[in-house]
A and B are shown apart, each in its own frame.
Chain A
Amino acid sequence: MKKTMLAIAAALALAGANPAWALTAKEIMEKAHLAVYYAGDDGKAHVHMEIVNPDGGKRIREFTILRKDVAEGGDQKFFVYFKKPADVRGMTFLVIKHPLGDDERKLFIPAIRMVKRIAPGDARTAFVGSDYTYEDISGRHPSKDNSELLGEETINGRKAWVIKNTPKTPQRDYAWRKTWVDQETFLVLRESYYDESGNEVKRFTMTKWGKVDGFWIGLAGKMENLATPHYTTVEFTDVKLNIGIPDTVFSERSLRNPPKRWVK
């Protein structure tokens, strides 16, 4: 009896000391990947992006993005409908994401009414000329990195795990990154990219988050290229999750004729 009490006490003490010990760095990154990129089975958002160059010159990108998960943590479909600037207005973009293979991308160019398949590109290529890469927008599969738990920190009043992620295949624009994952929501609060010599070259900061349709999601963020210094802010509005977007929305038909009901 006494022995049992001791065992329970010991267990409680351990649990109280650090409940996080239950999760490895890899598991945290997997949960973060799901929280950031797979909230709900589908969703839509209106995205406002401001790309700011060192002189303060500003370029605006506005689009509606629709997403549908094929498999949780696996394949996803994205449909993007551009509203601004004027030279890309009406352009649509369809991506079938294969997290461990090449994505399939199709672009509709309204001026010549042509659907064009785009050669799969480096995931670290800038998305619409911003400081966000394709990978930042659609997610990097955690199995592509070696993850190591560095400790815990409180940032913006939130308790976070700090994890060092080193890509298994070298990346052209950074050597490793440090990721702050919120302990309650599993959202990425901050991410710093370092070069080989340990200089911080790029930084993501989540600036706004909230609960939408029962899921915690990021609502605004900033990606800074610290060397230039060039940065992009992004804001999500009109976010909706689990809305039952039909598969047919992610088709060539939609590229040519964007479904009003979903992109409005």
Chain B
Amino acid sequence: MKKHAMLGLVLGAALAAAPAQAAELEVHGFAQGAASLRTDALALPQGPNKGAKNNWLAGENRLRLEVTGDSDDGSVGFVAKIDALYDFANPNTQANPASLDVRELWGEWRGDVFEVRAGRQMMTWGIADRLFISDIWPKNWAAFYAGLPLEYMKLPVDALKVLHYAGPVELEFVLAPRTEVDIVPGPDRWMLYAPPGVVGETRPAPTLRNGEAALRAHVPMGSWDLNLYAARTHWHQPDKGFNPATGRIIYPRLNVYALTVQGQILGGVLSLEAGYYDSVQDRSGNDPFIANSQQRWLVGYEHELLPDVTLAIQLYGERMLHYDRYLPAAQFAFAAGRGPKPLPRNRLFATANLRALFLNQTLTFSFFAMAIQHGGRMLNPELSYAVNDMLTVTAGAHIFTKGPDSWLLGMMKHDDNAYLWARWSY
């Protein structure tokens, strides 16, 4: 309620500040139906629907209303993107299938060298494809693995954002009072086992002290782009913190320092990203229940192989920084049966994404493959057809292969799925 009051205030202020001749309003949106089905009809092993033969990983209809308004001179504006959502495949029959998903709701003031945006907004940082180092913003992995449109992999953030343009340098400062965490596939729909001993989760309390603050600086260097990032944030994934005393998942404090470099070389685009993840609540690295500090790096290269056929490859690595302290502590703690096997020091990810356009670019075929060292593989072929200017139909599949049960993507090997969605835009 408090939050909505804040949004209302922001929008009200933005509109009130608009010149009297006021704004031009644009109203658009779409109707969308999406279904994602597990290919094997297996009984769920755990969770509230244990034993249920539920194939539906996602089944939802959305009606999107998108309203944008700008003052005549463009100095003030707002955006509202709201989905009326009907989740027709929620296995939890107690839940109300109808809800409102407020994707974006913000007001903005734009000056010569400053822009201020307040409200619920989407934030995408970094340059990688489905791998994240500098992008600390929350994700919906359940939507991603179910094959919903890629925009639903992003979760919005309620934040105040200030942009400052100092010559060619662009500075972005974001203040998010409340920590939003990732949504991950859960045992209510997926063939997943919750880790033993977990009774719930505790999110960081929405206090100013717990707030997230992040800074980005974009520095163009000739035809190359350099971005520097610093963030005071939290781990947003549920596997990064656990309180063995209470049995609850926690989201420990995290500082992230990262940089990206991107430019053209040998007729393709080269992307470099590196980051230091400073795990504030386990700086010494000897708490096995809180993620160790990490180094992360990524090298990506994208090249057009043929006209309308593009291949992008990425190699990404994570390295634990205090493994010598983590390992004995983890061996000791987990030996008592309170946790999984200790994690390896390094994890390497490789991805390939092939995209080809046919029929005057109305038919898009893409094939995304990801392999994780010690962690399994995923294949994601997808076909998308723009029937006309309004209707797009997309069909695809996720195939998980190999890998141990305890790890992404291996733990999802019984969740191979096929998905279909159609969107009619107006």
| Total count of chain A residues near the partner, CB < 8 A | 38
A13 to chain B, nearest CB (A): 51
Please tell me if A128 contacts chain B, counting CB pairs below 8 Å.
Answer: yes
- Across the interface, which residues of B come within 8 angstroms of A100, CB to CB? none
Please tell me if B268 contacts chain A, counting CB pairs below 8 Å.
Answer: yes
State which of A17-25, A108-116, A192-200, A204-212 sits at the interface with chain B. Answer: A108-116
Please tell me if B307 contacts chain A, counting CB pairs below 8 Å.
Answer: yes
In the complex, residue of chain B having the shortest beta-carbon distance to the beta carbon of A115: B124
Whether the pair A121, B268 counts as a contact (CB closer than 8 A) is no
Instruction: Name the contact of A89 in the complex, choosing from B28, B163, B225, B361 (C-beta under 8 A).
Output: B28
Instruction: Name the contact of B124 in the complex, choosing from A113, A120, A128 (C-beta under 8 A).
Output: A113
B424 to chain A, nearest CB (A): 9
| Total count of chain B residues near the partner, CB < 8 A | 50
Please tell me if A72 contacts chain B, counting CB pairs below 8 Å.
Answer: no
Assuming the contacts A252-B218, A257-B110, asked whether A117 and B123 have C-beta atoms less than 8 A apart, the reply is no
Instruction: Name the contact of B303 in the complex, choosing from A60, A87, A104, A119 (C-beta under 8 A).
Output: A119
Please tell me if A57 contacts chain B, counting CB pairs below 8 Å.
Answer: yes
B48 to chain A, nearest CB (A): 32
A101 to chain B, nearest CB (A): 9
Please tell me if A102 contacts chain B, counting CB pairs below 8 Å.
Answer: yes
Interface residues of B in 123-180 (CB under 8 A from A): 123-124, 127, 149-151, 154, 163, 165, 168, 170
User: CA–CA, A18 to B70, complex, Å?
Assistant: 58
A248 to chain B, nearest CB (A): 8
Whether the pair A121, B304 counts as a contact (CB closer than 8 A) is yes
- Across the interface, which residues of B come within 8 angstroms of A51, CB to CB? 360
Please tell me if A122 contacts chain B, counting CB pairs below 8 Å.
Answer: yes
Instruction: Name the contact of A85 in the complex, choosing from B115, B124, B390 (C-beta under 8 A).
Output: B390
Please tell me if A261 contacts chain B, counting CB pairs below 8 Å.
Answer: yes
A-B contact count (CB 8 A): 99
Assuming the contacts A89-B28, A113-B123, asked whether A119 and B360 have C-beta atoms less than 8 A apart, the reply is no
B354 to chain A, nearest CB (A): 13
Whether the pair B304, A119 counts as a contact (CB closer than 8 A) is yes
Whether the pair B392, A87 counts as a contact (CB closer than 8 A) is yes
Instruction: Name the contact of B165 in the complex, choosing from A119, A121, A253, A259 (C-beta under 8 A).
Output: A253
Please tell me if A84 contacts chain B, counting CB pairs below 8 Å.
Answer: yes
Whether the pair B390, A86 counts as a contact (CB closer than 8 A) is yes
- Across the interface, which residues of A come within 8 angstroms of B217, CB to CB? none
Instruction: Name the contact of A128 in the complex, choosing from B70, B151, B361 (C-beta under 8 A).
Output: B361
Whether the pair B269, A112 counts as a contact (CB closer than 8 A) is no
Instruction: Name the contact of B307 in the complex, choosing from A84, A124, A259 (C-beta under 8 A).
Output: A124
Whether the pair B425, A85 counts as a contact (CB closer than 8 A) is yes
- Across the interface, which residues of B come within 8 angstroms of A111, CB to CB? 122, 149-151
Interface residues of B in 224-242 (CB under 8 A from A): 225
Please tell me if A53 contacts chain B, counting CB pairs below 8 Å.
Answer: yes
Please tell me if B310 contacts chain A, counting CB pairs below 8 Å.
Answer: yes
- Across the interface, which residues of A come within 8 angstroms of B302, CB to CB? 119
B residues neighboring A (CB under 8 Å): 28, 30, 70, 73-74, 110, 115, 121-124, 127, 149-151, 154, 163, 165, 168, 170, 218, 220, 223, 225, 262, 264, 267-269, 271, 302-304, 306-308, 310, 312, 357, 360-362, 386, 388-390, 392, 423, 425-426
- Would you give 15 A-B contacts (Cβ < 8 Å), ordered by A? A53-B360, A59-B388, A86-B389, A87-B392, A102-B264, A113-B122, A114-B124, A119-B267, A119-B304, A121-B308, A122-B306, A125-B308, A126-B361, A257-B115, A261-B74
